[in-house]
Amino acid sequence: MALACLGLFLALLLYALASGTFQQQRQQQTLAATAQEETERLAKLKAQLLRIESGKASAAGFLDPRSGTAIGNTSGVRYITMPPAPLGTLSVGLGDLHPYFYKLSLRSKSFTLNNEELENPLNLLSGPFDLAFGIVILFPLFLIALNYNLLSAEREQGTLALILSQPISLKALVTGKVLVRGGALVVAAVAVTLAGGLLFGAGAAVFPRLLAWTAIILLYGLFWMGLCVWVNAWGRSSATNAIALSAFWLGFCLIIPSALNIAASALYPIPSRVEMIQSLRTAGKEAQEQGSRLLSRYLEDHPEFAPAPAPGAPPAPAPDFGSITYAVQMEVDKRTEPVLARFEQAIAQQQAFVDRLRYLSPAVLAQGALNEFSGTGLARYRGFQLQAERFHRTWQQYFFPKIFQKAKLTSGEIDTLPRFRYQEESLEAVVARSAPLLAVLTLLSLLAGGLSLASLRKFKRSL
């Protein structure tokens, strides 16, 4: 029975690892495909510009292929990509809902940075079957299955008195039993984690992260083992123990997180995206209506970007379509900033509430810490989002002056177009964010351990 349990646990963890690897590989393939598409497109563009420059091809047409509009918006755009999480194979975390790449454009931020991965919503609803799920949700269940009748079974079979008549203390008996049974599961979980991390992780940089994973598994396992001993020391029947431990599991893994989630959404409601879409549209509409006025205002602020008048010609040429469009885009960004900021603030407030209260459930703590050390937590995705926003501005600032001046890009400039480089967050930042989680998890484990030892003493007296 115990061996079958261990075997099943190991099999599930291995399947979880395979499933996580599959997800990670899909991301890697996508990133490789974006890089290849970008390289090929830019090479083609460069060749086209070279042909035009050497007079072998004409630049005539709806849009001059050398113009900032053509290059910055379509033919020369780059991808903003975030490399896969260091331990993404172990925990999908928020990776299935948050974008890890964007295709640039000169249009507004809310338009450009609005990429969503395509996935069957049914699969998103079910959630990923990854190692983190195996550890946070399944691991305690297996610990319970192996340990719910530590003492009760012996008592029900009448062997407890017999054993205790031997020269062995109750404490030694129970800790010995729980550590052997639980220890086997812990070893299985750590082994699969280390194997997964070393085989599929991002090289030597993952060692400290794997160490943290191991510590979390140990602490979390210790918590549940302590709880099992404590419930056994109540001296009830095996069936009651099983029900009580299932109730704890249900409480920590489902009911507390759900209750917090409901409270968070009720106390800090997030404004509707539907309303946001409408405000963005209104802002866009207003900006559009003032198109040419916006351009002249922009050129008043930045006279250096005004197109140079041809010698002898009248100074102010009529603004072209491209210039107006981008003056409008900038105005849209400016006007929608407060709407988007309000949105982000509401989300952040709700998240802060949840962050304050997540200490109520060790399962939530463990999941949060595992995500952090995998690189699939909220902070890393937010960080990527901010870097992407900054780079989108860099991209606009590179092209807008060229568009306003009606400058033509040369083939040489294609190689030097701004390039996004993702700044991976430092391990120190990860550790700093996870430290309170780990501290409270340690505290809870010690508490459960202490409680179990104290209750054993009481149990012994009652014998």
Q: 154-193: which residues touch another protein (CB under 8 A)?
A: 156
Q: Is 107 in the site for another protein (CB under 8 A)?
A: no
Residues 246-275 that bind another protein (CB under 8 A): 246, 250, 253-262, 264-266, 269-270, 272-275
Q: Is 124 in the site for another protein (CB under 8 A)?
A: yes
Q: Is 195 in the site for another protein (CB under 8 A)?
A: no
Element (H, E) at 80: strand 79-81
380 SS3 class: helix
Cα dist. 224→20, 145, 449 in Å?
A: 25, 11, 9
Q: Is 128 in the site for another protein (CB under 8 A)?
A: yes
Q: Which of 6, 59, 63, 94 binds another protein (CB under 8 A)?
A: 94
Query: Minimum CB separation from another protein for residue 374, in Å?
Result: 14
Query: Minimum CB separation from another protein for residue 240, in Å?
Result: 8
In the bound state with another protein, the residue whose beta carbon lies nearer, of 201 and 257, is 257
Q: Which of 331, 391, 411 is nearest to 103 (CA)?
A: 391
Q: Is 286 in the site for another protein (CB under 8 A)?
A: no
CB atoms within 10 A of CB 183: 13
What's the first-to-final CA gap in the chain, in angstroms?
28
5 SS3 class: helix
Q: What's the burial of 187, exposed, middle or buried (CB within 10 Å: 0-12/13-18/19+)?
A: middle
Q: Which of 55, 121, 167, 311 binds another protein (CB under 8 A)?
A: 121
In the bound state with another protein, the residue whose beta carbon lies nearer, of 264 and 306, is 264
Element (H, E) at 81: strand 79-81
Site string for another protein, 328-357 (x = CB under 8 A): ---------------x---x--xx-xx---
Q: How far apart are CA 213 and CA 190, in angstroms?
A: 8
CB 420 within 8 A of CB 35: no
133 SS3 class: helix
Q: Is 30 in the site for another protein (CB under 8 A)?
A: yes
CB 399 within 8 A of CB 71: yes
Q: How far apart are CA 15 and CA 134, in angstroms?
A: 10
Quick one: which segment of 29-37, 204-212, 314-322, 421-429 binds another protein (CB under 8 A)?
A: 29-37
CA dihedral (105, 45, 401, 413) in degrees, to 10, reads 130
In the bound state with another protein, the residue whose beta carbon lies nearer, of 211 and 277, is 277
Quick one: which segment of 137-145, 206-214, 223-231, 405-413 binds another protein (CB under 8 A)?
A: 137-145
Q: Is 149 in the site for another protein (CB under 8 A)?
A: yes
Q: Is 47 in the site for another protein (CB under 8 A)?
A: no
Q: Is 129 in the site for another protein (CB under 8 A)?
A: yes
Query: Minimum CB separation from another protein for residue 302, in Å?
Result: 27
Residues 211-250 that bind another protein (CB under 8 A): 237-240, 242-243, 246, 250
